[in-house]
Amino acid sequence: MRKTKTTVSVTRALPKSVEDRLCALFDARLNEEGAALSHEALKAAAASCDVLAPTVTDKIDADIIKAGGDRLKLIANFGAGIDHIDLETAAKAGITVTNTPDVLTADTADIAMALILAVPRRLTESARIMREGKFTGWSPTWMMGNSISGKKLGIVGMGRIGQAIARRARAFGLEIHYHNRNRVSAAIEEELGALWWGDLDAMLGNMDIVSVNCPKTPQTYHLLDAERLSKLPRHGFLVNTSRGDVIDEKALADLLEQGALAGAGLDVYEHEPMADPRLLRLDNVVALPHMGSSTIETRIAMGEKMIINIKAFEDGHRPPDRVILALT
């Protein structure tokens, strides 16, 4: 029988019900202030726990992992993305890494769909006019946006979130097109009415709206660079709810300033929490503060999933959401 509780260092403040459960099950070291920890603080946390529970904003590099020494055995990430963790160093050190997939899918897809609606219909621009008291009455030619029904939506990355967006978009009458590293099954294509494009460049040039939903990997860094972005039609709209550096943000701002793209909806940025200030000044850009999974229900579900991973590991079982890295 285990005589002492597993020590878990939690890097950020989490929903109270999640923290209460962590404290009941483990020797949980909470971040009472909630602010992001410095690199040195993360190293100290790793060196003093059995389980490190970081979030997507914590860069868990080789130095932090090595600071864990022989004690650190599990990195239980609060979030689905794991690009901020040095998986290779963790694997070589025999440290298990887990994440919290699936529970973010619906809320992230909802945010993407909200942006797909908001940008062409000029919703935030219109709301600002109302708040500023500048609405002077209805006019036949005032604040005209663009319909989305019948338009072509190109989804870059047809994983769980991409498919969830496609289901929502079909209900609004959008045609579904997609580019993915691997073509999805014929059954999924039939369900979604989706057309696969093997050539991303060709797809971009034929879409009215493009939604970026691929994971962050070395291969997807600036996947939409200046050259690719220039292939989007002038009347096109771009939405990104994946990772900021999948898109060359400077090149995107250039195109929007030049009027070479109709608009953009963004929930992520290349250098978060900073965004290119030009994007924030443009009326045809809807900029959100990385809130794709920001609902009470999802954040609690993420915490519960993280706790299940920690408890399974503590009990000597394989955590259900273990991240596998094939070392070469």
Strand arrangement, sheet containing 237-240: 194-196, 175-179, 152-156, 209-212, 237-240, 263-266, 285-287
Res 328: pLDDT: 38
Identical fold at 7-103+296-314 and 105-287? yes
Domain boundaries, the chain: 7-103+296-314, 105-287
CA-nearest of 29, 74, 82 to 55 is 82
State CA 215 to chain mean position distance: 8
Q: Which residues does the chain have with pLDDT short of 70?
A: 1-3, 326-328
Res 3: pLDDT: 60
Res 216: pLDDT: 85
Statement: 105-287 belongs to CATH 3.40.50.720: yes
Res 2: pLDDT: 52
Q: Residue 133 and residue 154: Cα distance in Å, rounded?
A: 37
Cβ-proximal residues to 272 (8 Å cutoff; 6+ apart), any chain: 57, 244, 290
Residue 196, strand partner residues: 178
The two tokens of residue 285 are 């850009």
7-103+296-314 has which fold? Rossmann fold (3.40.50)
State CA 5 to chain mean position distance: 33
Q: Is 247 helix (H, G, I), strand (E, B) or coil?
A: strand
Res 324: pLDDT: 84
The two tokens of residue 151 are 């338009």
Considering only CA atoms, give the Rg of the chain.
22
Alpha helix (H) residue ranges in the chain: 16-25, 39-47, 62-67, 87-92, 105-121, 123-131, 160-171, 186-192, 200-204, 226-229, 249-257, 277-281, 296-314
Strand arrangement, sheet containing 96-98: 27-29, 7-10, 51-53, 74-76, 96-98
Helix, strand, coil share of the chain (percent; to 5): 35, 15, 45
The set of catalytic residues is 243, 272, 290
What's the sign of the alpha-carbon dihedral 53, 275, 116, 197?
Answer: negative
